[in-house]
């Protein structure tokens, strides 16, 4: 079984899809390698591509505020994306690109063994939960897949574009924290 570091060294050299030609940096993901909670976004944006870290731009700053509001920190969780290289002009990743790259996400999840996976936005939810996932209708609902509880909420960038979505997103974050705390209690027994 690989470690996250070993996997990262492989992903950093990846040329399996055309996104590798236009990237500045691979954005592998970061956080607690033993996290109970893994957040999955869509793909790196401009700032993430420059720096090589996930969710460091405006959407990332809002994400940080939201996890802090439920008493969490980046050090407690793990955060990554469906695709590890920036799609040009921040377009959505193509199906083929996601299909190739999600293999790395599967490895990350196998290594981390989280209890909860949170899809940030429709792209993550369509790749992880269901290819026809409707974020406005199906966000905030728990799905059980094997050992994981999976939920989707709005992508923080969507909240920046449309403030009226923030109330529902806040409800989702409270649900996520409740599940997180329940798991804590289970593990302490």
Q: Can you list the alpha helix ranges (DSSP code H) found in the chain?
A: 4-12, 19-22, 46-51, 58-69, 95-112, 122-128, 135-138, 156-161, 166-188
Piece of the chain touching ligand URA by CB under 6 A; list 14-22, 44-52, 103-111, 136-144: 44-52
Name the residue number minimizing CB distance to ligand URA.
41
Interface residue with ligand URA, options 23, 39, 81, 149 (CB under 6 A): 81
Phi, psi of 30 (to 5 degrees): -160, 165
The Cα–Cα gap between 183 and 7 comes to 27
44 binds ligand URA (CB under 6 A): yes
42 binds ligand URA (CB under 6 A): yes
The Cα–Cα gap between 169 and 171 comes to 5
136 vs 147, which CB is nearer to ligand URA?
136
Side by side, which strands form the sheet with 78-81? 30-31, 78-81, 37-41, 116-120, 148-153, 143-145
59 binds ligand URA (CB under 6 A): yes
Q: State the number of binding residues for ligand URA (CB under 6 A).
A: 13
29 binds ligand URA (CB under 6 A): no
The Cα–Cα gap between 146 and 63 comes to 27
93 binds ligand URA (CB under 6 A): no
41 binds ligand URA (CB under 6 A): yes
**Site residues (vs ligand URA, CB under 6 A):** 27, 41-45, 48, 54-55, 59-60, 81, 157
């Amino acid at each position: 079984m690989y470690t996250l570091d070993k996997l990262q060294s492989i992903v950093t050299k990846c040329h399996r899809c055309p996104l590798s030609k236009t990237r500045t940096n691979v954005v592998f993901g970061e956080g607690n390698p033993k996290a109970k909670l893994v957040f999955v976004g869509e793909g790196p944006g401009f700032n993430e591509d420059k720096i090589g870290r996930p969710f460091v731009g405006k959407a990332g700053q809002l994400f940080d505020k939201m996890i802090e509001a439920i008493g969490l920190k980046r050090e407690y969780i793990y955060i990554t994306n469906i695709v590890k290289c920036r799609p040009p002009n921040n377009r959505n990743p193509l199906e083929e690109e996601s299909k190739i790259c999600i293999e790395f996400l599967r490895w990350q999840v196998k290594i981390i063994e989280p209890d909860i996976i949170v899809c940030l936005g429709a792209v993550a939810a369509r790749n992880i939960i269901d290819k026809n996932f409707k974020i406005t209708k199906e966000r905030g609902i728990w799905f059980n897949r094997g050992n994981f509880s999976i939920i989707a909420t709005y992508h923080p960038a969507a909240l920046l574009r449309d403030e009226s979505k923030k109330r529902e997103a806040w409800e989702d974050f409270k649900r996520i924290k409740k599940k997180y705390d329940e798991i804590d209690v289970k593990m302490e027994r």
